[in-house]
Amino acid sequence: MLIAEAEALAGCAYGVPVARDGSWWEGFDGALPRNLEQLTASGHVFAITETVVHPHGHARGLARRLQERLLADHQASLGVTLVDHTDHPVRAAFTAWGWQEVGQVHRQPPGPTALRVLVLPLGERTAEHPDGLAHNAGTQRPE
């Protein structure tokens, strides 16, 4: 969890490392892209589970900065999050910050059954991997 405050609490972002076993992707609609499988298995994927920012004018850009700092602190190569398929303003905000939609997952109740999967590639963009989703076997994290 990462907290931002000035005179009072301004916002927070929190999340969890995605388990290497791929269980986070259960319910993914269709075949999971291979590069997402590889990054997950390497231990370099971090899920942003919540971002909350007070709607003050001086907090502009704070949500994005909190997410970026949280991902950097965990040395993630890929950020992932789930967004309710009906929450268009949140999806638009994430897209404006560079997140990309890669599909959807179907989760069991009590939550919504269809959630959009958004990813934020943090890897180097190359001619071979213009999406920034490159797997580097040399960066495999220990179990």
Task: Please report the pLDDT score of residue 21 as a whole number.
Answer: 95
Task: Give me the chain's average pLDDT, please.
Answer: 82
Q: Is 122 exposed, middle or buried (0-12, 13-18, 19+ CB in 10 A)?
A: buried
Residue 143 has pLDDT above 60, yes or no: no
Query: Long-range CB contacts (< 8 A, 24+ apart) of 88-91?
Result: 91/116, 91/118
Task: Please report the pLDDT score of residue 118 as a whole number.
Answer: 95
Q: Lowest mean pLDDT: which of 4-8, 42-46, 94-98, 132-136? A: 132-136
User: Domains (ranges, CATH) in the chain?
Assistant: 2-138 (3.40.630.30)
Burial pattern 14-35, b for ≥16 Cβ within 10 A else e, equals ebeebebeeebbeebeeebeeb
Task: Please report the pLDDT score of residue 103 as a whole number.
Answer: 93
Task: Please report the pLDDT score of residue 133 as a whole number.
Answer: 56
CA gap 19, 23 in Å, rounded: 7
CA gap 32, 52 in Å, rounded: 29
* pLDDT tens, residue by residue, 8-42: 677 888 899 999 999 999 999 988 888 899 899 99
**Cβ pair 90, 99 in contact under 8 A:** no
* pLDDT tens, residue by residue, 100-131: 999 999 887 766 678 999 999 886 655 655 55
Query: Would you place residue 43 in the very low, low, confident or very high pLDDT band (cuts 50, 70, 90)?
Result: very high
